[in-house]
Amino acid sequence: MTIPSEELAELAFIEEAAGNEDPPTPIKGVRRLLWWMIPANLGIFIIWGAFLQVLLPAQVAGLDPAHKVANFAIVSTVGAIFALFAQPIAGQLSDRMRSRLGRRAPWILIGSLVGALSLVGLAFANSFVSILIAATLVQTAFNFAQGPLSAIMPDRVPVKRRGSFAALTGIGVMVGVLGGQILASIFLGSIGAGYIVLAVLSVVLLSLFVVFNPDYSSKELVLEPFKFVDFLKTFWVNPVKHPDFFWAFTGRTLLYAGYFTVTGYQLFILTDYLGIKNPASVIPLLGIVSLAGILISTIISGPLSDRFGRRKPFIFASSVFVAIALLIPMLVPTLPGWMLMTFISGFGFGMFQAVDTALMSQVLPSAKSFAKDLGVVNIAATLPQALAPAIAGAVVLGFGYIGLFPIGIVLSILGAFAVVPIKASR
């Protein structure tokens, strides 16, 4: 059988290239792929915004109001720990996937379908144990979809367009997170219905992405023999051999930790720290305010980083913005103060999302393991979500909600300085 030249080019790229090299042109072109990344990421991150930040804490609080902080810390931490392993495992599997649909599409579809079914199960969960199991399955399954999806950039996008690509990806991410919060606030009176709506929406968006953005077949991919030791190495990238990878990972971990230590407890902060009686009436407004900051910085930062060929100054600035924002609720513990914090932190986090993804794609060691390595990189996003609830819960129980903000500030500033040693990108 004769293999088409385009597929041969793709197979050669997988065998020989690294993250700072241009891949073959996508089947339907780069432009279509760029714009489809918004709904694709929306399909996953609307889950994280609605499920993790609004519906799940509300469901846990309704089950046992007196122990809501501790119970939510347990549920979210266990789920996030499973998610830590899901992305590298999914990445390893998709890197080795031989199929007519390519390496990534099958796992994106499988993860979204299992995640949707888990959301339906969560809609009918009525005990702490059933909520714990269903919520863990949701986080695990959607991370199985997110890992291969994140490899689309180094797989298909030229280096000089990755800032713009990351900006559009960031728009999908943050519109998903904030849109999810707004959508979830509508369903606070009917949490089960909210879960079902999210399940349908996610499956539809991710399926449409796969259909309209086909990848080259990987049926002829030559695989190295599987070794269990290599599988264990999935969770480790040598910081001595790949220092840029290490510093990029560290910077993302610290900034995400600073951000999620505070925002992960927004619902409880609104009710218990700011005294908001009806948070459902406030969350949509906060989502719009944050989205405004995110869109402004994302639209500007991604293309500018492509134009100047520089990523690190934008990441440094984003960390500073988040740190400044978290100072505001300490000094002004009111709803207007929280709204100002929301806008500034959104501006900073949008700048980060627009540029950090492009930076990460340039420090990947090999095209053979893009998804696996990005799965490890994405631990930098899921690890803070795993640790933040436990740490934040202990801080709240010991010092009150005001204790969260200094921790978030310090972590964000450390995240800014972590990107300074990176050499693969300026």
- In order of their start, the domains of the chain are 17-418 (1.20.1250.20)
pTM: 0.72
Residue 347 contacts residue 297 (beta carbons within 8 Å) = yes
Residue 386 has pLDDT above 70, yes or no: no
Confidence of residue 300 (pLDDT cuts 50, 70, 90): confident
Residue that is written with structure tokens 């949707």 in the block: 116
Nearest C-alpha neighbor of 182 from the set 40, 68, 42, 319: 42
- More confident site: 268 or 2: 268
241 within 8 A of 146, measured Cβ to Cβ: no
Report how far residue 337's alpha carbon sits from residue 329's, in angstroms, rounded to the nearest whole number.
6
pLDDT tens per residue, range 154-213: 888 887 787 777 777 877 877 887 788 888 988 988 999 999 999 999 999 999 999 998
CA distance 215 to 422: 31
Are 319 and 415 spatial neighbours (Cβ–Cβ below 8 Å)?
yes
Q: If DSSP codes are grouped into helix, strand and coil, which group holds residue 311?
A: coil
Give the pLDDT confidence score for residue 253 in this predicted structure: 84
Which parts of 213-323 are beta strand (E)? none
Q: How far is CA 1 from CA 4, 14, 169, 220, 359, in A?
A: 10, 20, 38, 11, 39
Chain segment 224-258, per-residue pLDDT in tens: 776 777 667 666 667 777 787 788 788 888 888 88
Residue 8: per-residue pLDDT: 66
Do 7 and 356 touch, CB atoms closer than 8 A? no
Beta-sheet strands, E only, within 308-368: none
Q: In the structure encoding, which two tokens stand for residue 352, read together?
A: 């980060």
Q: What is the pLDDT of residues 400-416, one digit of tens each?
A: 888 889 988 988 888 88
Could you give the CA distance from residue 288 to residue 291 in angstroms, rounded to a whole number? 5
